[in-house]
Every structure is written in structure tokens, then in C-alpha cells.
Amino acid sequence: MYLKGPDELERLRKQVIEGKKAEEGQKRVVLCTGTGCRGAGALEVSEAFQKELDRSSDIELKRTCCHGFCERGPITVIEPMGVFYQMVSPEQVSQIIAETVKKGEVIEDLLYKDPKTGENIRYEKDIPFYMRQMRLVFGHNRLIDPTRIEDYLATGGYKALTKALFGMSPEQIIEEVKRSGLRGRGGGGFPAGRKWENCRRAGADVKYVICNCDEGDPGAYMDRSLMEGNPHRVLEGMIIGAYAIGASEGYVYVRNEYPLAVQNVGIAIKQAEKMGLLGENILGSGFKFTISINRGGGAFVAGESTALMASIEGQVAEPRAKHIHTVESGLWERPTNLNNVETWANVPVIIERGADSYSNIGTEGSKGTKIFSLVGKINNTGLIEVPMGMTLREIVHDIGGGIPGGKKFKAVQTGGPSGGCIPEALMELPVDFDELTKAGSMMGSGGMIVMDESTCMVDVAKYFTNFLRDESCGKCTSCREGTLRMYEVLDDITKGKGREGDIELLEELGWVTAEASLCGLGQTAPNPVLSTIHYFRDEYEAHIRDKKCPAGVCRDLITYDIDTELCIACGKCKKECPVEAITGEKKVPHEIDQDKCIRCGTCMEVCPEDAVKVQ
Amino acid sequence: MSEKELVRFKIDGLEVEAERGSMLLPVALDYGFEIPHLCHHEAVSPYGACRLCLVEVTKNGRTRMTTSCTYPVEDVIEVSTDTDQIRRARRLLLELLLARSSRAELIQRVAKEAGVTETRFKAVDDDCILCGLCERVCREVVEANAISFVNRGDRKEVAPPFWDPMACIACGACVYICPTDCIKMEEKGDERTIVRWKRTLKMQKCKSCGKPFAPLFQLNWIIDKASLPKDFYDVCPVCKQMG
């Protein structure tokens, strides 16, 4: 259906909403088939449901994308009851249909059990993981089948676009975004409204807007899940932005490793074109705007704005100096406004609710909410959305549910591979752009990797430095050689070859890498090293001076021993040892031959008595 | 034609002027300031890879370090070319380059001028410093597009696209521009080889003097590109001049 004007859009929305109302009481299985749940087997569950439902025409299966609580996937909500089932397997499907969908009986085993109270929880809203969140941008994912534009319209989709096109001038929109305090969610945190304003002012016949969906941080997937789960929301933000800026062409630059995101945004673009929400004369307003998809080849640095533009142009993704801003001369030397997925997805909320309402959320310098991907040594792995300014403690302990296995929290790395590691002492830090920077880390695009006491901070710094060494584009001497040499020094330290002066050398290298490099990758690359030196200097010193790894991680600096008092001589370690380094007979405590031992830790893992100790 | 617009600013306290749109490094060099640089060449566009031409630019009360080769001159700026920070950064950059290209004479010399004679890092001997001059001269000046960057990070190298030198016309522009002399050209009999790209081409023999004077592939490429008569290069330029 081609919509000729805003009235027709509203008529259609009314129809869709009335249709949904008529379906009230409809028996429906809502299943997350986002990438996280797919990893846990959601497609098999979906198939099992489909098979069952083929026999009962009155039950509907709705496949959404990410609900956020990935730790507990596959996630299913049974409507109209709204009961929330977790870790659903294909074998449980027929029971769910027979008992819950048909008879309204709750299967206790499938409910989420609060580890603190031991009680089963029926509804999503009552689960601690969700209770403290504010899911302004991400919340609609659970209501939407991303392949159906009607679902998006039912949540109020494209209302903001109508308001912008028919009730606001481009200048008013920019003013609204400026007043909202929205800052770029991709890493830089630059005020979005100011960027738009500068791009609008740049005179040119053709201007571009770009959506950056080249999320490449290990363990981070918020942009992916937004694009997979609610692509129209991102498109709506882009169309509003393009109208405000005066752009007629847009690009979605999305990683090719995100096949579902590529697919869903592709479907969404076609639907929007068909309905007159994209293309010539959008909703009869006279505004013309088209969007093309560009798939990225997987280089981390291609997420840097100028490198991304080079990549769209068909060049090697290599950043250039930005003394001439991309809002003046970007893609094909035309004014170009680039924002990331989450930034664009915030725009419809701001336009619809107004800047004042939006800027009530968050802190002085960081407004609105932020989506974080909470991963690592944490009980509730998943995607969370919280108001800016929530403390790290609330995020890690209240929402994240703390550290598994009764271990102690050690640090959280924020902002992706080039973020810093923040220690326990700063757990009361309110998380926003400025506070994270002050603590030697950064917001980045919102990755949060939690580490427990069994993590070696030198090893962590080495891991991320190696990632950045590998992903540096190699243009700047400071970044290419700096990350390489920092990695070499760190590698030596973890292998017991550290020397006095290595910490100072790392600090020097970190300084020149940050100060002399051209783009954000190089400028932030030393963060993992410098922040761990700052907060965990004693661990570096233990490695260098005492040739010890206090966390028991660095293989060359540890020894495994069997406590003869605790050993029950069960023979498990002897059997599992890959190098036959363990000797011992029945009823005789076992021993490890240190010359043969490769310090893989297998004996420690399999010992039922915790008799294997690491030093 | 309208007159070129001039901007006026200060370098190390000296009032200077330059055309709007020019980059800071060539302006400073013209005025006689000594700023080390390895990836800049007047024939090609600025790139900003070696980072040696760092200067401090003060604008609206804010000072920051930036490469002068990619900085467009402006009216309001004050430039310092030789501060403690800059010297410290340059020395570290040169120490890093010296470790990468320990045998390259140019690097040894520039490092020595900055007071760096040793490196604390494991030295290797890759003479290519990835300045990208060969890639730019081939693309922008020759327009043969026969050289590109391959890989990234510390594995980055300059190489023919897909390691196939089929587009190379063996003109030798890359040989000429390479600051560390790591691209070599050899001529044996009627063959010319660009060693680094593994490109060997037969040379055209002059119909007048009989001497091989340029690769046939290159001559045909020029004839094609410039729409010249097919026999334009039958005779070498020397014989042609003598009539």
C-alpha cells in the first residue's frame, strides 16, 4: 500500500491497532530468534513450535529479535498470559503448547528463578535483570517481528517522521535534537544536533547521511541487535535526519558478518519504499530520500567515520585527517553526516516526546539512555538499556546479578577493546561519557566486559593490545609500530622476561601512540595498557620483579601443585593430563612433574577435591 | 581569474602568509623552517603516515599536536615547530622507525639528526617505511594504479593489487620517489625489471639507433591513453630530437 499522505499513514495505523485489539486474547507464542537466542538453539525451537502450530490454526507464532536477556535464551513469552519462559528447548515445546498455551497452566521449571530469593518469577517485568532498566530504545524489540512493518506502526512507528515532515522546519528539528543533548553513541560522543547543524550549513548540491552499523568490538552487539530487531526505528531516525540536514541519499554500512541485520534492514527498506516512506515525495511532503545498503568486509577500523566513507567509495578502509570535517567534505567529497545505529534510533523518541522530556533522563552532560552489552564474568550476560548516570555497581550487581561461582569482582572494561579497565574502588562511578573518560576509560559504543579475581590484568592488556595491533590500519607509524611494540613488551612480561623499566617504556609508547596517531583507534589504543598500569601496577611489578602472576594465569609464571593432604588419589588428574606429567598409584597422593607440566590447568579443573593449587 | 586568497598566521613567532587551502608543512618548509618528514612530496597529495612533521597548533586558546602535512593553514593559528613535546614524540617515532628499518640509511640519518642512535626494541630490517609515496605517485601522477596497500597493521605492505603486477608499466616513478630506496629497477639487455613488484617488461628498440629505450607495454599504454599515432614511439626521444 502506497501512502500518499500522513492521513493515510494514520488510517493504516488505526487499522493495524484495531486489528490487534480484535486479536486480544489471541493465543500467541512470542519467540526470540535474534542472534543470541539462535546461538542457544532458537531456530530449532521455532521449528518445533511451527510443527505443533501447523495443527492448531488458532495459535500464532511470532518471531522477534533480541529481548536482551541472552544468558537465558532461547526466550519465549506466551500470550495473552504474558508468562516468560527461559532456556526453552525443542523437547519442551509440545508441553508448552498443551499446558500453557491451551490450558493456561504455568510450567514452573521454565520460569526464571531469582537466585537471591529462590522464587520463580512469571513475568518479564518482575525479573531483576529487567526491573532496573529503562528500555526507551530497545524495549520495543519484544513487540516486533522485524519483517512486519505493521508491528512497528502499532508501536507508534513513523509518527515522529510525520511530525517532523509536516509540523517542523529542518531548523526546528535540529534545534530539538540540540536541546535534547543527544550525543553520538558510536564512541566519540559528539553532540548530534551540532553535527547536523554543521552539515545543514555546508553548501552543496548533494549531501549524504550514513548509518554506521560496523560494530566490531569483541563481545559487543547492541547495534547488531537493534538493527536485527527494529530496523524501521533506525530508518525513521535517518529519514528525519536527512530531512533536517537536506540530504537526499543515505547509506547503511553494515558488517557482512551480521547476516540477519543485513537481511532485516534490507526487508525494511523495501517495505518503506513500497509504502512511500522512502523514495520520491515521502508521504506527499515533496521530500526525496533513498537508502542503500553497503556491506563491510570486517575490518575493525572501517567503523572509523572517514575509513568507512573510503570503504563505501571502494577504497581501502583507511582513516584520513579530519581538519576538514566530513560534514563539509565526506563521502565523495560531499557534506556527509554519519551517526551510529543507536544514535539514529534515539531520534524518533526525541522528536515524538520532545527535547525537554528526553533531556530529563540522564546526567548533566550525557542525556537519555545507553545500551550496554554486559558480558564476561557476569551472571546475567545480555544487552541492557539504562539511563545515563547509573552506577557501575548497579549495572554489575543489580542488573548483571554479580559474578558467577562466588568469585570476587576485579574490574570492568568499558568502551570496547580500546577502553580502560575500571577497578572495584570505582564501582560507585556514574556511567556517562565524561565520567568514564575521567576514569581513564571511555563510553565507546557501550561494551562492558566484566572480569573476576581469576583474571590477570597484564594478560588482559596484552589481549586487547594484540587485537588493536592486528586491527590497526597500519598507516600511522605511531599506531602501527606503537601497538606492535607495546604488545611485544607485554608479551615478554607475561612470559617472565619483563625487565625493570618496562612499565615506563609502556607508558612512553602509550603516550606517543595516543598523541601522534591520526584517528580514534590509535588515540585510544593505549587505554587498556595505561589504565591497567594505573589501577593494577602491583600486578605488573609482580610479573616483572617476582616473576609471579598473582591471578595464576600467565603460564610461564605459575606452577601447579597437588596438596597431598587433600588428594584422594582418585586418578582423574593423572588420566586427563595431556602430557602424562602426573604420577601416583591408588591410595597414594599424586604428584606433578614440573619439568613435564605444560601448565594447561586441566588437573585443576577435573580435581573433585580442589587439591590442585596454582601459584 | 580572481586573485588567490591569502591567509596570515605565525610560525615560531614569525608572521607568514600563504594561499588559503595550502597545507602547513610545505609553507613552513618554504619559509625555511626545518621540519623532518618522510611521507610528504610536493608532487602528490598529503597523506599523514610517518607522523614526523608534528607541530603544535594553537587555535582559540587550545593547543594540540598535529601533523603539519595534513593541516590546512588558517588565519587565526599560531604554530610551534620545536617544543619539548614535539621533540619527544619525534624521537620516539624515530626510535620505532629505526627498529623497523634498522638498515635504511635515510632513517639512520634522520634519527641521528634528532639525537636517536639506538632503539630499545627488537630491530628488524624492513626498508619499507610504508610512507605510501609509491602508491600515491602511481595512482595520482602516473595514473597506472599498479600499487596498492595490502593487509593492515604491522603486516601492512605495499604491493601490486592481488600481488599481480599486470598494471605496472615499469615507468620507474615509484623507484624515483621511494625515500628509502627499497624499490629497485634493473635493465638487462632489452628487458627492464622493477624488482620489488616482480615486473619484467620487454623494451622497445629504437628503429633509428637500435637501442632499447622504454618498455613496449608502457609505450602502448601511453599511446592508448593520449590517443597518439601508433608509430609515435618507433623512434626513441633522443633520435627524434636529432631529427
Q: Would you list the DSSP string of A276-317?
A: TSSBSSGGGSS--BEEEEEEE-S-GGGGSHHHHHHHHTTS--
Question: CATH number for the domain including A503?
Answer: 1.20.1440.230
User: Does domain B6-113 bear CATH number 1.10.287.810?
Assistant: no
Contact criterion met (CB below 8 Å) for A33 and A65: yes
Residues of A in contact with B121 (CB under 8 A): 485, 488
pLDDT of A515 reads 96
pLDDT over 60 (residue B82): yes
Domain end position, chosen among A510, A545, A580? A545
**Residue from A465, A582, A569 nearest A524 by CA:** A465
**Measured between alpha carbons, how far is A8 from A1 in angstroms, rounded to an integer?**
10
The nearest CA of chain B is from the CA of A487 a distance in Å of 11
Q: Is residue A135 situated within a structural domain?
A: no
**Measured between alpha carbons, how far is A18 from B25 in angstroms, rounded to an integer?**
67
pLDDT of B2 reads 55
Which DSSP helix (H) or strand (E) runs through A572?
helix A572-576
**Measured between alpha carbons, how far is A244 from A233 in angstroms, rounded to an integer?**
17
Residues A196, A306 share a domain: yes
Respond yes or no on whether the N-terminal peptide bond of residue A74 is cis (omega within 30° of 0). yes
Q: Is residue A130 situated within a structural domain?
A: no
**Measured between alpha carbons, how far is A213 from A220 in angstroms, rounded to an integer?**
12
Sign of CA dihedral B212, B213, B214, B217: negative
Burial state string for B25-50 with b = 16 or more CB within 10 A and e = fewer than 16: bbbbbeeebebebbbbbeebebbbbb
Residues A301, A182 share a domain: yes
pLDDT band of residue A416 (cuts 50, 70, 90) is confident
Q: Is residue A95 situated within a structural domain?
A: yes
Residues A581, A480 share a domain: no
Percentage of residues in chain A with pLDDT exceeding 90?
A: 88
pLDDT over 90 (residue A58): no
If one counts the domains in chain A, the total is 5
Residues of B in contact with A498 (CB under 8 A): none
Local structure of residue A73 (DSSP, 8 states): P
The nearest CA of chain B is from the CA of A525 a distance in Å of 13
Are A515 and B89 within 8 A, CB to CB?
A: yes
**Measured between alpha carbons, how far is B30 from B18 in angstroms, rounded to an integer?**
10
Residues A502, A488 share a domain: yes
Residues A209, A268 share a domain: yes
ipTM for this model: 0.94
Residues of A in contact with B102 (CB under 8 A): none
Give residue-wise pLDDT tens across range B8-53: 999 999 999 999 999 999 999 999 999 999 999 999 999 999 999 9
Residues A159, A47 share a domain: no
Give CATH 3.10.20.740 domain extents, chain B. 6-113
- How do B212-215 and B62-67 pair as beta strands? unpaired
Give residue-wise pLDDT tens across range A222-274: 999 999 999 999 999 999 999 999 999 999 999 999 999 999 999 999 999 99
Residues of A in contact with B152 (CB under 8 A): 299, 301, 470-474
Per-residue pLDDT, averaged over A562-566, amounts to: 91
Q: Is B64 exposed, middle or buried (0-12, 13-18, 19+ CB in 10 A)?
A: exposed
Q: Which of B51, B62, B107 to mutate to test the interface with A (most CBs of A within 10 A)?
A: B51
- List the single residue in B51, B71, B88 with the smallest CB-CB distance to A477: B51
Q: Is B222 exposed, middle or buried (0-12, 13-18, 19+ CB in 10 A)?
A: middle
Local structure of residue B238 (DSSP, 8 states): H
Q: Any CB–CB contact under 8 A between B21 and chain A?
A: no
**Residue from B126, B121, B127, B96 nearest B111 by CA:** B96
Strands (E), A125-270: 208-213, 249-255
**Measured between alpha carbons, how far is B62 from B69 in angstroms, rounded to an integer?**
20
Q: Is residue A481 situated within a structural domain?
A: yes
Beta bridge partners, A165, equal none
- List the single residue in A301, A511, A516 with the smallest CB-CB distance to B54: A516
Per-residue pLDDT, averaged over A466-484, amounts to: 97
- List the single residue in B51, B122, B155 with the smallest CB-CB distance to A476: B51
Residues A583, A540 share a domain: no
- How do A290-296 and A249-255 pair as beta strands? parallel
- List the single residue in A469, A488, A517 with the smallest CB-CB distance to B153: A469
Q: Is residue A137 situated within a structural domain?
A: no
The nearest CA of chain A is from the CA of B170 a distance in Å of 23
Average per-residue pLDDT in chain A? 94
**Measured between alpha carbons, how far is B146 from B168 in angstroms, rounded to an integer?**
5
Count of residues in chain B? 243
Per-residue pLDDT, averaged over A563-574, amounts to: 91
pLDDT band of residue A57 (cuts 50, 70, 90) is confident
Are A516 and B89 within 8 A, CB to CB?
A: yes
**Measured between alpha carbons, how far is B5 from B8 in angstroms, rounded to an integer?**
10
pLDDT of A586 reads 84
**Measured between alpha carbons, how far is A487 from A368 in angstroms, rounded to an integer?**
37
Nearest CA in chain A to B96: A481
Residue A348 cell numbers, joined:
524518533
**Residue from B46, B49, B134 nearest B96 by CA:** B49
**Residue from A420, A387, A217, A211 nearest A305 by CA:** A211
pLDDT of A54 reads 83
Domain end position, chosen among A359, A379, A396? A359
pLDDT of A22 reads 83
**Measured between alpha carbons, how far is A535 from A605 in angstroms, rounded to an integer?**
30
Question: CATH number for the domain including A218?
Answer: 3.40.50.11540
- CA B50 to chain CA centroid, Å, is 11
pLDDT of A26 reads 86
pLDDT over 80 (residue A56): no
Q: What is the DSSP string of A313-333?
A: TTS-------SS-TTTS-GGG
- In three-state secondary structure terms, A362 is strand
Contact criterion met (CB below 8 Å) for B19 and B114: no
Chain A residues with at least one Cβ partner in B under 8 Å: 299, 301, 316, 318, 320-321, 323-324, 469-478, 480-485, 488, 505, 508-509, 511-512, 515-518
Q: Any CB–CB contact under 8 A between B106 and chain A?
A: no
Strands (E), chain B: 6-11, 14-19, 54-59, 62-67, 78-80, 148-150, 157-159, 185-188, 191-194, 199-205, 212-215
Count of residues in chain A? 615
Give residue-wise pLDDT tens across range A72-125: 989 999 988 999 999 999 999 999 999 999 899 999 999 999 998 999 999 999
Give residue-wise pLDDT tens across range B97-109: 999 999 999 999 9
**Measured between alpha carbons, how far is A447 from A222 in angstroms, rounded to an integer?**
8
Beta bridge partners, B65, equal B56
Block residue for cell numbers 572480569: A451
Per-residue pLDDT, averaged over B195-218, amounts to: 95
Domain end position, chosen among A339, A359, A379? A359
Boundaries of domain holding A53: 26-79+83-122
A335 contacts: CB under 8 Å, gap ≥ 6: A199, A202, A204, A207, A208, A245, A247, A326, A327, A328, A329
Q: Is residue A43 situated within a structural domain?
A: yes
Residues A350, A235 share a domain: yes
Which DSSP helix (H) or strand (E) runs through A192?
helix A192-201
Alpha helices in A382-526 (DSSP H): 392-393, 433-438, 457-471, 477-494, 502-516, 520-524
Question: CATH number for the domain including A43?
Answer: 3.40.30.10
Per-residue pLDDT, averaged over A139-149, amounts to: 95
Long-range contacts of B34-42 (CB under 8 A, 24+ apart): B34/B81, B35/B68, B35/B81, B36/B90, B36/B110, B36/B113, B36/B114, B37/B69, B38/B97, B38/B106, B38/B110, B38/B129, B38/B131, B38/B179, B39/B69, B39/B129, B39/B131, B39/B132, B39/B133, B40/B69, B41/B133, B41/B136, B41/B137, B41/B177
Give residue-wise pLDDT tens across range A313-369: 998 899 999 888 999 999 999 999 999 999 999 999 999 999 999 999 999 999 999
Residues A483, A540 share a domain: yes
pLDDT band of residue B76 (cuts 50, 70, 90) is confident
Are B48 and A474 within 8 A, CB to CB?
A: no
Residue A316 cell numbers, joined:
581501502
- List the single residue in B96, B120, B129 with the smallest CB-CB distance to A482: B96
- In three-state secondary structure terms, B174 is helix
Beta bridge partners, A249, equal A208, A290
Are B51 and A480 within 8 A, CB to CB?
A: no
Residue A94 cell numbers, joined:
509440545
Torsion from C-alpha of A210, A216, A220, A224, nearest 10 degrees: 40
**Measured between alpha carbons, how far is A183 from A180 in angstroms, rounded to an integer?**
9
Contact criterion met (CB below 8 Å) for A405 and A378: no
Q: Is residue A9 situated within a structural domain?
A: no
Residues of A in contact with B48 (CB under 8 A): 320-321, 475-476, 518
**Measured between alpha carbons, how far is A224 from A340 in angstroms, rounded to an integer?**
11
**Measured between alpha carbons, how far is A62 from A148 in angstroms, rounded to an integer?**
10
pLDDT band of residue B1 (cuts 50, 70, 90) is very low
pLDDT over 90 (residue A21): no
pLDDT of B147 reads 97
- CA A170 to chain CA centroid, Å, is 31
- In three-state secondary structure terms, A268 is helix
